[in-house]
Amino acid sequence: MAAKAEKMTAGATTERKRYFGLSMPILIGMCLVVLAAAYTGALSADLPGTFALMFVLGIIFNEVGNRIPIWNEYIGGGIVLAYLGTAALVYYNLIPQQYVESIGTVTGDMDFLTFFIAMLITGSILGLNRQLLVKSIVRYLPAILGGVAGAALLGILGGLIVGVSPADAVISYVLPVMGGGNGAGAIPLSQMYEKVTGNPSTDYYTFAIAILTIANIFAIIIGGILNRIGNSKKGLTGNKSNLMRNAAEIEEKEEKVKLTMKDYGGAMALGLSFYALGRLFGEYLLPTIGGVAIHSFAYMIIFVALTNALGLIPNDIRQASQGMQTFFTKTMVIVIMVGVGVDTDLGELFSAITFGNVLMALLVVIGATLGSAIVGWLVGFYPIDSAVTAGLCMANRGGSGDIAVLGAADRMGLISYAQLSSRLGGGIVLIIGSLIFGLFL
């Protein structure tokens, strides 16, 4: 017995010394090799070289961030440090420029972020019980609207405190923050502004993107705080992959099957096919409905949900899709966060930091959090999960913001709901914005 206990203790000690699955000597050696190659210019700026550097930066920041007291519990841990730490390295020119550009190409022109989100959407939706899926999506729109209402209410209150009129508080602060990100929110809102006022769209966009960037940081931090609250108050959250409070009564246990590599290959091919189907409708067949642009991801979510609800996907492929989702959320997310960090301009953030702007952005994000939590609870959701997805994932920078918020909140399994907020919810905000611009500008 003593020998067995000693063996178990030794095994536990070995496990504690693993970092990202690697022993400390291997991790240090790997990081030194890649960094030496990068800072001597020997590392190629192609896909393998760029991925190597992104992995190393992500692993270092992730391991450090997960061990910083308070930061690891309330700010979001290693995921958030990978994002902000990389942004700081770029801002202070501590990453050679060729790799800054190649990382930007991987996450921008090559759009690895879209590939990442497509895999997560497929796995998260196919992993839901069919009844649970239908019931939760039907109730999700009220939670989104609750977040928008809460953001407007506290945004107007903040405006009264700092001397901003209610109309300007909504136009300049609430709409950009809740609009679904940069490309889906701030840019089309600035175009609406130009059309209504005749002034250059940059007059609106420059301020809007600055406020959105501040709000995005607050959304990430609050996501980490909500995760901490959920860990201590279990009744406020579910299993981090569904929203419904009575999920256990609805959900039926499925028999686990032994998966093969072909199952995982089929799951990936299926996810990419769903993405292609979403693009076909979003870019060609039905890009708008009633004059409102429908994002390709919104179509993708609809089609994946529909096939799941109709039971068209075999159980082994559904489980393989969940496995693919788990792999991406546990490993590839740090690569994504490094890419998002490179794309974040800290100078833009610093220039917008005034007491009034920070207070307004914070109140809008808090309003979105409280509004979606309260309405989410009323329609049968866990308040924390509703606040993270229907609230915080409306008040961030879209797709990259969703990943950062869900990473900080440890709820990557809710990506499909987050995307509904960013895409469909953002579309709703654009409709509201067009009406408000017409009335007050």
319-334: per-residue pLDDT in tens?
999 899 889 888 888 9
What distances in angstroms separate CA 76 from CA 186, 218, 303, 342, 405, one per listed residue?
26, 11, 32, 18, 8
The confidence band for 309, taking pLDDT boundaries of 50, 70 and 90, is confident
**Distance, C-alpha 23 to centroid of its chain:** 30
- What burial letters (b/e) apply to 408-423, b meaning 16+ CB within 10 Å? bbbbbbbbbbbbbbbb
- CB 113 within 8 Å of CB 107: yes
Write down the H helix ranges in 163-260.
166-169, 175-178, 187-197, 201-232, 247-250
Give yes or no for a contact between 123 and 327, defined as CB atoms under 8 angstroms apart.
Answer: no
As a whole number, mean pLDDT of residues 299-305 equals 89
Residue, of 72 and 3, whose pLDDT is higher: 72
To 5 degrees, how large is the angle CA 347–CA 158–CA 178? 65
Element (H, E) at 285: none
Phi, psi of 293 (to 5 degrees): -70, 135
Q: Around Cβ 62, how many Cβ atoms within 10 Å?
A: 24
**Secondary structure element (H or E) that encloses residue 257, with its range:** none
| Residue, of 35 and 256, whose pLDDT is higher | 35
pLDDT tens-place string over residues 106-125: 987 888 888 988 898 898 88
Does residue 1 register a pLDDT over 70?
Answer: no
Asked whether the predicted pLDDT for residue 373 surpasses 50, the reply is yes
296-302 mean pLDDT:
86
pLDDT bucket at 318, cuts 50 / 70 / 90: very high
Domain boundaries, the chain: 19-111, 113-440
Q: 398 falls in which pLDDT band (50, 70, 90)?
A: confident
Whether residue 250 has pLDDT greater than 60: no
Residue bearing the bigger pLDDT, 399 or 253:
399
Confidence class for position 249, pLDDT limits 50, 70, 90: low
| Mean pLDDT value across residues 24-50 | 95
Q: Which of 45, 59, 16 is nearest to 333 (CA)?
A: 59
pTM of the model as a whole: 0.80
Label residue 80 by pLDDT band (50, 70, 90). confident
pLDDT, mean of residues 379-394: 95
Model confidence band, residue 12 (pLDDT cutoffs 50, 70, 90): very low
Mean pLDDT of the residues in the chain: 87
What percentage of the chain exceeds 90 in pLDDT? 51
For the cut 60, the answer to whether the pLDDT of residue 14 exceeds it is: no
Residue 210 pLDDT exceeds 80: yes
Residue 13: the pLDDT is: 45
Tokens 């509004």: give the residue.
371
Position 86 confidence tier, pLDDT thresholds 50, 70, 90? very high
Q: % helix / strand / coil in the chain, to the nearest 5? A: 80, 0, 20
Please count the CA atoms within 13 angstroms of the CA of 97 that sit on its side-chain side: 0
Is 60 exceeded by the pLDDT of residue 416?
yes
Q: Strand, helix or coil at 20?
A: coil
- As a whole number of angstroms, the distance between CA 206 and CA 189 comes to 12
- The rounded percent of the chain whose pLDDT value lies above 70 is 93
Asked if pLDDT for residue 85 goes beyond 90, the answer is: yes
**Per-residue confidence (pLDDT) for residue 303, from 0 to 100:** 92
Burial category of 205 from C-beta neighbours within 10 Å (exposed 0-12, middle 13-18, buried 19 and up): buried
pLDDT of residue 10: 46
**What is the rounded distance in angstroms from the CA atom of residue 225 to the CA atom of residue 120?**
23
Tokens linked to 371: 């509004």
Mean pLDDT along residues 78-105: 93
